[in-house]
Structure 1
Amino acid sequence: MATVHRMKEPSGKLSSKYYAFFRVPTSDGGFKQVKKTTGHTTKKEALAVANQLEREALAEAGASDKHAEAILSKVREAGELALKGRLNPAHARRLIGEIMEVSGQGSLKERSCREWFSEWMKDKEATTKIATVRFYRSTTKDFLNFLGERADNHLETVTSADIRAFRDSVIANGRTGKTANHKLKCLRSIFGDAVKASALLQNPASSVKQVNEDDSTSREPFTPAEIQQLLESSPNVDWRGVILLGAFAGLRLTDCAKLKVGNIDLERQVLRFMPRKSDRKKKVLEIPLHSELVAYFTENPPAPFAANPLFPTLAKVSTSGRNGLSSRFKDIMNAAEIERHVTRRTKDGAARETASRSFHSLRHSFTSMLAKANVSEEVRQKMTGHTESATHQIYTHLELETLREGVERIPGVSVG
């Protein structure tokens, strides 16, 4: 409400005319104080002018009596619905949106679960590693499919019960507790970012607890005879090289496929590379080449250029997906008539558990064969990931020979 006062002049005397004082809202949600002369010497006339000046300023700022009354009507409607027990999230969002429009703040942007997931994925695709993006894409797709038609409802309709039911469905569909927890973590991030973007009031996934990971499927290594079967069933020479690297150097599938010619030093008979799982720490491993690998690269010399892919037919193939490297390795296992799942007794000899086999099992074969050859645990650890140096560590001659001795204790396999 406007007020009027007479101001002091520079001489120190009160002016004969009254000034109007009032506040108007600003675009940032605050207020500013306005002072204007009324041009009148009587308080009554000055106050009438002051009120008119205030109305004009409020109208210009989009906060006139008309706007105020429109906002109050929306508030009254919300109150009436609440008294009748009919105020629900849909009504509340509509009323808040209408209040924002009347106030000149623009419309309330509402997002369905599907829309927010799409928006979130676009941001992640521009800022996150490809492998992580694939997992995010898979998780969001699974969750939207789990919601069904409800995926097109407002984001706020997703509840903690929905998140919990989805987590449990992951396990019910044969996945491990570790996978379920990984997907839960992804959903926490998605809904947490929605809260930060003011698209949601609270994160429905934050209260959902992780499940026990004791059910996570253990890995069973391949035997030397099975490794020979895999090699004989390989569709081409590149796959043979990749399988040999898994079995006799302990490399993961993606690392094998992404190797460059420059990673192989046949003169020193070593492999030097940076594992993708450790690239943020800039770990570089240097592994002596087993005689099986030396023989393979002697028979199949790499291209002369260091930047060329070591395995050109596999370098551009994704690890995941229906036709990805993991699926192709399963086909090789099938061709070799090697079971993907095996049943074995636990350490106590009483219960039985199921272990799965995949390309990663070759890494277990590598460490298992080192252990059976009485290679020390310290050396085994250095083989599979040894340094946290800021850049890399080149072994001294003595260290490298110690590792080479450990590698050479592993018996080879006969390959036709």
Structure 2
Amino acid sequence: MASLIKDPNGSFRIEVVVPDGSRKRVRLGKLPVKTAESWHRRVEALVSDLAAGEPHGRDLASWLAELPLKLHERLVKARLADRRAASTTVTVGPFLTAWLEARKPEYKVASVRAWQQVVDGLTEFLGTAFSIAEVTPEKAEEFRQRMISDGLRPTTIHKRLQHARLMFDHAKRKKLLAENPFEYVRHRPGDASERRAYVEAADVRRVIDHAPNQDWRLLIALSRFAGLRVPSEAMSLRWQDIDWDRGRITVPCPKLEHLAGRGYRVIPLFADVRPYLEEAWDRAPEGAEYVFAEEYRRRAHGKHGWAGCNLRSTLEKIIKRAKVSQWTRLWHWFFRHFSGRVAGV
């Protein structure tokens, strides 16, 4: 009923006589021999079922349903399968948008924003109406090359491919794809040591001395000497979190509050921080709830939550006034220095 033929260029095709007596051809392209033989057996089974007017067995029906649309259409053209209903075609734009919307209530704004960038990038690259079933490893690699040509940093490309892999794992679980096209598309992250910096405590104190007011002095001290994330943890700090007598600070952790037992941590009230906290306490208005004034909290907490708050520009100006050499990732390395000191590294 069907013959498997290998052409001189290495491509396989199946010549088959369908139940109506006509001869059809199914081109498979270049495949491993075992894969081509598996196709041959299944095509013969399709012809047999169609000739007998019997439904396909479970394994054959499952194989047919999970075929990528492009390959399934070849069987349709050969009159070996019915065309899939248009309603079953899931496209990139609606699928990725639905995936993202389902996660918004459970995840932090920063995570959603990072995923949104990948959704926007994939939708722009593939097209919103592009079938999920048509996304191949080749397309995934083209997306990686596109990010490289756009000049994105290696670590950014690495992270976005991770996010894409997560999204298409969901498509695979929903049986929209036989395999995840991003499974083996990887990109080496950048070397973090190239942007690593150590900020001497003496330089930090010089920067603090040139800060414009008590809020900035305290903000810098909390970041460098107590390891608070800026702005989320510093701006969430309440006066009730300061235990003056026991010398402790209970630090709220908005970034980790969705994880069990990670909503806060307790740290010592370090000697390098206490003077600036005392200064802020002495100047705080009666009944103040938060350590930082509401005007700072309001400016730091925008429509994207704490993400995207621009405290870098002012810190750059303060560093320049202090005549200290500027380092990369200004606030990040404050936090990292504290973490390293506590870990003893």
Deviations 1:3-38 (A, max 9, x none): xxxxxxxxxxxxxxxxxxxxxxxxxxxxxxxxxxxx
Q: 1:182 aligns to what?
A: 159
Q: 1:62 aligns to what?
A: none
Q: 1:92 aligns to what?
A: 73
- Is residue 381 from structure 1 mapped to residue 325 from structure 2 by the alignment? no
Give TM-score, length-normalised by structure 2: 0.63
Alpha-carbon offset, residue 184 of structure 1: 1.7
Q: Is the alpha carbon distance of 1:196 and 1:294 closer, same or farther for their aligned partners in structure 2, counting shifts above 3 Å?
A: same
Contact 1:230 1:333 in 2 (8 A): no
Could you tell me which amino acid in structure 1 is paired with residue 329 of structure 2?
A: R
Could you tell me which amino acid in structure 1 is paired with residue 216 of structure 2?
A: W
Deviations 1:164-217 (A, max 9, x none): 34445556635243x433222211111111122333333101122352554564
Q: Find the residue that maps to 2:104 and give its secondary structure.
A: helix
Alpha-carbon offset, residue 305 of structure 1: 5.8
Deviations 1:282-330 (A, max 9, x none): 2553322233432222222256668x33323344535997x95653224
Q: 1:291 aligns to what?
A: 271
The partner residue of 1:134 within 113, 117, 138 is 113
Q: Find the residue that maps to 1:127 and give its secondary structure.
A: coil
Q: 1:82 aligns to what?
A: 26
Could you tell me which amino acid in structure 2 is paired with residue 126 of structure 1?
A: P
Aligned length: 274
The partner residue of 1:120 within 93, 99, 106 is 99
CA RMSD of aligned residues (A): 4.2
Q: 1:272 aligns to what?
A: 250
1:118 and 1:110 map into 2 onto residues whose CA distance is 15
Q: 1:406 aligns to what?
A: none
- Is residue 363 from structure 1 mapped to residue 335 from structure 2 by the alignment? yes
5+ long unaligned stretches in structure 2? 1-17, 30-67
Q: 2:175 aligns to what?
A: 198
2:81 and 2:216 map into 1 onto residues whose CA distance is 59
- Is residue 245 from structure 1 mapped to residue 228 from structure 2 by the alignment? no
1:221 and 1:320 map into 2 onto residues whose CA distance is 33
Alpha-carbon offset, residue 115 of structure 1: 2.1
Q: Percent identity?
A: 20
Q: Is the alpha carbon distance of 1:84 and 1:259 closer, same or farther for their aligned partners in structure 2, counting shifts above 3 Å?
A: closer
Q: Find the residue that maps to 2:250 and give its secondary structure.
A: strand
The partner residue of 2:138 within 161, 175, 179 is 161
Could you tell me which amino acid in structure 1 is paired with residue 235 of structure 2?
A: A
1:135 and 1:195 map into 2 onto residues whose CA distance is 22
5+ long unaligned stretches in structure 1? 1-73, 102-106, 342-355, 371-379, 385-416
The partner residue of 1:310 within 267, 271, 291 is 291
Could you tell me which amino acid in structure 2 is paired with residue 289 of structure 1?
A: L
Matching of residues 54-65 of structure 1 within 5 Å? none
1:176 and 1:319 map into 2 onto residues whose CA distance is 29
1:84 and 1:211 map into 2 onto residues whose CA distance is 33
1:168 and 1:84 map into 2 onto residues whose CA distance is 27
Alpha-carbon offset, residue 264 of structure 1: 1.4
1:237 and 1:93 map into 2 onto residues whose CA distance is 72
1:207 and 1:367 map into 2 onto residues whose CA distance is 34
Contact 1:275 1:285 in 2 (8 A): yes
1:168 and 1:340 map into 2 onto residues whose CA distance is 33
Contact 2:319 2:326 in 1 (8 A): no
Moved more, 110-119 or 224-233: 224-233
2:303 and 2:152 map into 1 onto residues whose CA distance is 18
When Rg is computed on C-alpha atoms for both structures, the one with the higher figure is 1
1:195 and 1:238 map into 2 onto residues whose CA distance is 50
Q: Is the alpha carbon distance of 1:195 and 1:88 closer, same or farther for their aligned partners in structure 2, counting shifts above 3 Å?
A: closer
Contact 1:252 1:363 in 2 (8 A): yes
Could you tell me which amino acid in structure 1 is paired with residue 335 of structure 2?
A: R
Q: Find the residue that maps to 1:220 and give its secondary structure.
A: coil
Q: Find the residue that maps to 2:249 and give its secondary structure.
A: strand
Could you tell me which amino acid in structure 2 is paired with residue 231 of structure 1?
A: I
Deviations 1:67-88 (A, max 9, x none): xxxxxxx998xx9573799x97
Could you tell me which amino acid in structure 1 is paired with residue 234 of structure 2?
A: C
Q: Is the alpha carbon distance of 1:313 and 1:211 closer, same or farther for their aligned partners in structure 2, counting shifts above 3 Å?
A: same
1:313 and 1:116 map into 2 onto residues whose CA distance is 40
Q: 1:44 aligns to what?
A: none
Contact 1:176 1:217 in 2 (8 A): no
1:157 and 1:340 map into 2 onto residues whose CA distance is 48
Contact 1:250 1:364 in 2 (8 A): yes
Contact 2:153 2:190 in 1 (8 A): no
Matching of residues 2-21 of structure 1 within 5 Å? none
- Is residue 333 from structure 1 mapped to residue 305 from structure 2 by the alignment? no
Alpha-carbon offset, residue 90 of structure 1: 8.8
Q: Is the alpha carbon distance of 1:300 and 1:230 closer, same or farther for their aligned partners in structure 2, counting shifts above 3 Å?
A: same
Contact 1:160 1:208 in 2 (8 A): yes
Q: 2:6 aligns to what?
A: none
1:319 and 1:176 map into 2 onto residues whose CA distance is 29
Q: Is the alpha carbon distance of 1:136 and 1:97 closer, same or farther for their aligned partners in structure 2, counting shifts above 3 Å?
A: farther
Q: Is the alpha carbon distance of 1:267 and 1:213 closer, same or farther for their aligned partners in structure 2, counting shifts above 3 Å?
A: same
